[in-house]
Amino acid sequence: MAAYLQWRRFVFFDKELVKEPLGNDGAAPGAAPASGPSASKFLCLPPGITVCDSGRGSLVFGDMEGQIWFLPRSLQLTGFQAYKLRVTHLYQLKQHNILASVGEDEEGINPLVKIWNLEKRDGGNPLCTRIFPAIPGAEPTVVSCLTVHENLNFMAIGFTDGSVTLNKGDITRDRHSKTQILHKGNYPVTGLAFRQAGKTTHLFVVTTENVQSYIVSGKDYPRVELDTHGCGLRCSALSDPSQDLQFIVAGDECVYLYQPDERGPCFAFEGHKLIAHWFRGYLVIVSRDRKVSPKSEFTSRDSQSSDKQILNIYDLCNKFIAYSTVFEDVVDVLAEWGSLYVLTRDGRVHALQEKDTQTKLEMLFKKNLFEMAINLAKSQHLDSDGLAQIFMQYGDHLYSKGNHDGAVQQYIRTIGKLEPSYVIRKFLDAQRIHNLTAYLQTLHRQSLANADHTTLLLNCYTKLKDSSKLEEFIKTKSESEVHFDVETAIKVLRQAGYYSHALYLAENHAHHEWYLKIQLEDIKNYQEALRYIGKLPFEQAESNMKRYGKILMHHIPEQTTELLKGLCTDYRPSLEGRGDREAPGCRANSEEFIPIFANNPRELKAFLEHMSEVQPDSPQGIYDTLLELRLQNWAHEEEPQVKEKLHAEAISLLKSGRFCDVFDKALVLCQMHDFQDGVLYLYEQGKLFQQIVQYHMQHEQYRQVLAVCERHGAQEPSLWEQALSYFARKEEDCKQYVAAVLKHIEGKNLMPPLLVVQTLAHNSTATLSVIRDYLVQKLQKQSQQIAQDELRVRRYREETTRIRQEIQELKARIVWSVFEHFILEDLF
């Protein structure tokens, strides 16, 4: 039971008397009720009003003269004669322009029900589509209440004898409607209400002593007894969906709410209830309070009728009284045009206009009732921006009062709307670090934190030395649960010395570079760093070995070399037995890792030899570097046997055929290290025969010069000329070599004799005897050649003479043949 005495009272409605519009024409249809300078006097309704209702843009009244009056928004009152005697009940449907009424056309207890179609006219009056007696039987009784379902298929009428009739079918037509007695009881029926839930239609029935519900949409009409408390006439109502369409029964002690099958909450609102009404989420109750008229029990009947009546407007959701005022002799309370209208016995109409939401909130702010403001804003469906503004003001209020814990909880509710820096500045003081941490945690959970917020939160954790909170923050179950910038977190944790936490983040979120930085630069755990690289996918393993290979080679050369061998041949991540070892491996370009071995020649040699053996199609740089390394080792080796072995290895590498396309580079390497056999081999492979001869000449290796000329002179005859020039310039006795060269030159006729003589003229040791044989043989050959040429000339001349004679003979024959041909033609 709600404690009514604790409910706060507010003035959330403005009260004023409705005034008539100035002039006969009145205000335009749809205009607000006039209440300003354009109003002349207060609106006064006709006397004798007995019943009221509202809907479809009008207030509807029935009086003791049988007339029904309509007051539209233009405040131009119109009416028509509905009954001959009096109107006792009205029900205006909200979704149809249909009005149901109960009244009397003759004396006695014989009430009639009339159904009016307000959209159609009959002689200027609304069309009455149906008339039938309210009492189903012959026994007279008084109608106490009336209700109609909005679908026009149900109408219920309650009587003072405790019975309820149900009209089922189209209520606007006699032939489509069936009337039957639904309920019989011993207590007067004081209220009826239909409730639609899906396809099920319930009818609430309340008497002075009990409350019950019926299911009227099916057969048999099952009944549920809800309570043994009742209420007076007009003291029941049906709430809107905000209160789940509950049936409200306002008893003198309490106000009860009911579902079709059970009783709901109750509220201890004191006072003798006269009217209960539901309006836009508010419960409106008019009651006679004993405190207002303490002597009412002893006064006369007339004096009691003039007692003050209190109208209270309750907000059941937010537990406060939105408005409270005192009236005299309230006839009824109506709701239309977004306002409440209170009709009093003197014919005056009082308008209660609800203040706008912002005004109500400002009233609550002035009283520092922020919790109530929040609840009100939610019930009024204020947007998220408006709610955030309330949360901020509430947080500011609590902060100013020193309630920092409460303030930060309100600021947390502004996340996503209020700029975080506004809150952060308030709690940057070291004494408020716990509050700041709570705010930043929520900011991250909602994925609205930036890198600066992450940095600040982690610094809060480290300053508080709260390792458990820190671990809870960073150790999320999956990537989707990460609400912070991981890289920023790693940087902050590393800077604060929380290496293990930083490593956890780096490893679990695949920030390989940061993981290796921390392992190598901070912890100096080279073995673990190398193991981690070995677990990475190929691309990451390759890039990180290029980045950190030199550091690892310096500290753990053997293990690093082994990893590089695998990386450049058939790499598969070491997944500790969980990977598919049958999957094809990847291999990196081994040449790109050679700089890593700059200070580790032994490991470099092992790596290069492994690559050349296991992967013969390795890049050329591997073989170039291996050749250079072997030549260096050969050049610096002093042990003869080892040197010979290294010599054989270098020659073997040169003969492997891997240097055909980089001949010049290999030659330069051999020359740099004075590797003569290699130089000569490369000269020969490159067909650089002159360079071979020149090499032997430089080393005065005469026999080798002749050997090269004999071996390659056929391909390059100029070698003999080069050899002759070489021996001709030598001052020592080289007769045998010159003779050998001249013999070959003479045999192949490579040089003119005069050029040979001029070449040998430079040698002071060369005598005529050296070239005598050469010259004699040369002259003999020339003499023979001259004789042969003279014989050939003579033969050619004789042949020419013979041919000329044959030509002359042929010409003579041709002339004689032509002559004979012409003579024969003349004869015939």
Average pLDDT over residues 773-777: 61
Alpha carbon of 296 to those of 271, 293, 299, 301, 305: distances in Å?
A: 13, 6, 5, 9, 9
pLDDT tens-digit readout, 115-130: 999 999 988 899 999 9
> 3-state secondary structure string, 203-221?
EEEEECCCEEEEECCCCCC
In the chain, domain spans: 356-432, 767-817
CA dist 547 and 560 (Å) reads 13
Residue 649 pLDDT level (bands cut at 50, 70, 90): confident
- Quote the tokens at residue 38: 């354009």
Alpha carbon of 229 to those of 235, 250, 257, 711: distances in Å?
A: 12, 10, 12, 134
Of 123-132, 225-234, 339-348, 762-771, the range with the lowest mean pLDDT is 762-771
Average pLDDT over residues 147-157: 95
Residue 322 has pLDDT above 50, yes or no: yes
CA dist 501 and 462 (Å) reads 11
**pLDDT value, residue 290:** 60
**pLDDT value, residue 382:** 87
CA dist 210 and 205 (Å) reads 8
Instruction: Please give the residue that has the higher pLDDT: either 506 or 676.
Output: 506
pLDDT tens-digit readout, 684-740: 665 666 666 667 666 666 666 666 676 665 566 666 666 666 666 665 556 556 666
Instruction: Please give the residue that has the higher pLDDT: either 214 or 30.
Output: 214
Average pLDDT over residues 2-30: 72
Average pLDDT over residues 652-681: 69
pLDDT averaged over every residue in the chain: 82
**pLDDT value, residue 694:** 65
Residue 681 has pLDDT above 70, yes or no: no
Residue 553 has pLDDT above 50, yes or no: yes
**pTM confidence score:** 0.63
Residue 49 pLDDT level (bands cut at 50, 70, 90): very high
**pLDDT value, residue 303:** 38
**pLDDT value, residue 778:** 63
Token pair 């021996």 in the structure block, residue: 727
Answer for the pair 637, 643: CB distance below 8 angstroms, yes or no.
Answer: yes
Residue 32 has pLDDT above 60, yes or no: no
Instruction: Please give the residue that has the higher pLDDT: either 816 or 147.
Output: 147
Average pLDDT over residues 420-440: 87
**pLDDT value, residue 792:** 86
Per 3-state DSSP, what percentage of the chain is helix, strand, and coil (rounded to 5)? 45, 25, 30
**pLDDT value, residue 761:** 57
pLDDT tens-digit readout, 497-517: 888 888 888 888 888 889 999
CA dist 149 and 156 (Å) reads 9
Percent of the chain with pLDDT over 70: 78
> 3-state secondary structure string, 326-343?
EEECEEEEEEECCEEEEE
**pLDDT value, residue 28:** 35
CA dist 758 and 489 (Å) reads 89
Residue 39 pLDDT level (bands cut at 50, 70, 90): very low
Paired with 100 in beta bridges are 91, 115
CATH 3.40.1440 assigned to domain 356-432? The reply is no
**pLDDT value, residue 300:** 33
Residue 763 pLDDT level (bands cut at 50, 70, 90): low
Q: How far apart are the first and last CA of the chain?
A: 163
**pLDDT value, residue 88:** 96
CA dist 188 and 712 (Å) reads 140
CA dist 723 and 738 (Å) reads 8
Residue 57 has pLDDT above 70, yes or no: yes
At 748, give phi and psi (nearest 5°): -100, -5
- For 374, the enclosing helix (H) or strand (E) is helix 370-379
Of 401-405, 540-544, 592-596, 674-678, the range with the lowest mean pLDDT is 674-678
Of 322-326, 505-509, 644-648, the range with the lowest mean pLDDT is 644-648
Residue 30 pLDDT level (bands cut at 50, 70, 90): very low
Token pair 């480290």 in the structure block, residue: 462
CA dist 235 and 188 (Å) reads 13
Answer for the pair 202, 194: CB distance below 8 angstroms, yes or no.
Answer: yes
- Our measurement of the distance from residue 616's CA atom to the centroid of its chain's CA atoms, rounded to an integer in Å, reads 50
Average pLDDT over residues 75-81: 94
Instruction: Please give the residue that has the higher pLDDT: either 806 or 484.
Output: 806
Percent of the chain with pLDDT over 90: 40
Answer for the pair 35, 75: CB distance below 8 angstroms, yes or no.
Answer: no
Query: Which alpha helices (DSSP H) does 597-662 contain, by range?
Result: 601-614, 620-636, 640-654
